[in-house]
Amino acid sequence: MGMWETAGLAAVLIVFSLGLILFTQRTGKYQIAYFLTVTVIFMVVLPMMFFTSGGHRSGMPSIFLLAVLFTVLMIKGKAALLISLLEIAEYSAVCVFAYYNPEFVTHYETEGQILVDIIFAFTCVSLICGVVLFFHLREYDRQRELLYEQNEKLRRYDASRSVFLTTVSHEVKNPLNAINLYARDTLELMGEEEPDVSMIQSNQQVIEKMVVRIDRILTDLKDTVAIEQGRLALNLAPMRLSKLLKEVSGTYFGKDASGGNELVLDMDENLLPISADYARIMQVVTNLLSNAIQHTKAGRIRITLYKQGGEQIVVIADNGEGMKEELQEQVFKGYISSDKEYWRHGIGLYVSHQIIEAHGGRIWIESKLGEGTTVTFTLPDEEK
């Protein structure tokens, strides 16, 4: 076998090995292909080429080095060490055998041919080793950056959850304290000779309001877990949004739970029923209206319902304190902020976003600090 034929065969084998590596990385059939490469090419073909390509007085020792390198890169665990040691032993043995038995070796005719083969093999091995090392280092850096980013996300997520749990605990504790206070006051009033019935009724309304608030918080917590586990279920049935909006607004503005705010209803009551989960949409409207009342003092809250295109659109707008711009893009994303200002707007917005999207609708916020907040959501207009 001539020098150039040997060099060509070596190049083909090297390219084949590289192609096999890329193929197995994409298909996932790593170890079988790698084992075949090592046993067939590295441990059978290369030793045969050694004897037909000048033996130790050629570029074959450099090719042996490349084979050992690729074995270490391809085979995993202890098998890589074992097989590479076997290769080193085999390559050393064939070199020693060729040295003492030169008649089995097809030598190059001139020193020039030997020099060219050595330079060619050395150059190929150097380039391939350099390329492999470059890509491995680049992949290492990429994985390190990815790991750093994931750790940062986990750190922020953990911080967000801590703030979330603290805030929710605070949100539940406040109404519980209020219930305790008004219950004690009611007991004292009932112990009087002439109880103030109007005061007792007022205390009862406050207690009912606090119970509803706690129930809403716990419902949102339960739904948050269901959303994260992909278990948010919908019970679709024909319903009228106008009826639901009146019912929810009546709950707040009919029992002195409006925070001194004025309610304005601007609804198209002639809209046809849509297919939706009545309880879930009520949960959304309750969350949005509760937030509007909570962040608006002696202001105006407007509820609008109309149809546009293939959607029925609900708008709940207030002229309260508003929301910071950076929070408007975050409040629908779940545990993403360690800012207590974010959690002050409640987890209801996150749950509401998931419910509306599950119905095939959209929801968004427009708000300015000191001017108020407008929350709009849409639902597909499916006539029944």
Compute how many other C-beta atoms are within 10 angstroms of the C-beta atom of residue 133: 12
Q: Which pLDDT belongs to residue 132?
A: 74
The dihedrals phi and psi of 316, each to the nearest 5 degrees, come to -120, 110
Average pLDDT over residues 255-267: 78
Instruction: Give the pLDDT band of residue 343 (cuts 50, 70, 90).
Output: very low
pLDDT grade, residue 238 (50/70/90)?
Answer: very high
- Mean pLDDT, range 102-113, rounded to an integer: 88
Confidence bin at 254 (pLDDT 50/70/90): low
> Please, is 184 exposed, middle or buried when counting C-beta atoms within 10 Å of its C-beta (0-12, 13-18, 19+)?
exposed
Is residue 156 pLDDT above 60, yes or no?
A: yes
- 384 pLDDT band, cuts 50/70/90, is very low
| 311-318 and 372-380 strand pairing | antiparallel
CA angle 212, 213, 217 (to 5 degrees): 115
Cα-based distances in Å from 36 to 31, 65, 132: 8, 18, 20
Rounded Cα gap, residues 358 and 352, in angstroms = 10
- Which of the four pLDDT bands, split at 50, 70 and 90, describes residue 342? very low
Please choose, from the candidates 305, 281, 291, the residue with its C-alpha nearest in 3D space to the C-alpha of residue 361. Answer: 281
C-alpha–C-alpha distance, residues 108 and 58, integer Å: 8
pLDDT at 176 over 60: yes
Higher local confidence (pLDDT), 231 or 64: 64
Q: Does the structure show a pLDDT above 90 at 133?
A: no
pLDDT value of position 375: 95
CB atoms within 10 A of CB 194: 6
Query: From CA 249, how far away is CA 383, in angstroms rounded?
Result: 24
Task: Give me the pLDDT at residue 72, please.
Answer: 84
Calpha distance 24→2 (Å, rounded):
33
> Per-residue pLDDT averaged across 200-213, rounded?
84
Reported in sequence order, the residue ranges of 294-344 that DSSP labels E, i.e. its strands, are: 300-308, 311-318
Instruction: Note the pLDDT of residue 94.
Output: 92
> Is pLDDT above 70 for 139?
yes
Is the pLDDT confidence value at 182 over 80? yes
Q: Considering the entire predicted model, what is its pTM?
A: 0.53
Please give the residue that has the higher pLDDT: either 210 or 339.
Answer: 210
Average pLDDT, the chain: 82
Q: What is the pLDDT of residue 138?
A: 84
CATH class of 153-218: mainly alpha
Of 159-168, 222-231, 373-382, which gets the smallest average pLDDT? 159-168
Average pLDDT for residues 46-61, to the nearest whole number? 86
Neighbouring C-beta atoms of residue 157, cutoff 10 Å: 14
Q: What is the pLDDT of residue 364?
A: 93
User: Which of 59-63, 207-211, 222-226, 313-317 reaches the highest mean pLDDT?
Assistant: 313-317
Superfamily of domain 237-380: Histidine kinase-like ATPase, C-terminal domain (3.30.565.10)
- Asked if pLDDT for residue 101 goes beyond 50, the answer is yes
Q: What percent of the chain has pLDDT over 90?
A: 25
* Exposure string for 234-269, b = 16+ CB within 10 A, e = fewer: eeeeebbbbebbbebbebbbeeebbbebebeeebee
Identify the pLDDT of residue 108.
Answer: 84
pLDDT of residue 9: 63
Instruction: Tell me the pLDDT tens digit for each residue of 184-201.
Output: 889 888 888 788 888 888
**Alpha-carbon 253 to chain mean position:** 40
Rounded to an integer, the average pLDDT of 362-376 is 92
Q: Give residue 195's pLDDT.
A: 82
pLDDT band at 28 (very low <50, low <70, confident <90, very high): low
Sequence-distant (≥ 6) Cβ neighbours of residue 289 within 8 angstroms: 248, 249, 252, 301, 303, 316
Domain boundaries, the chain: 3-109, 153-218, 237-380
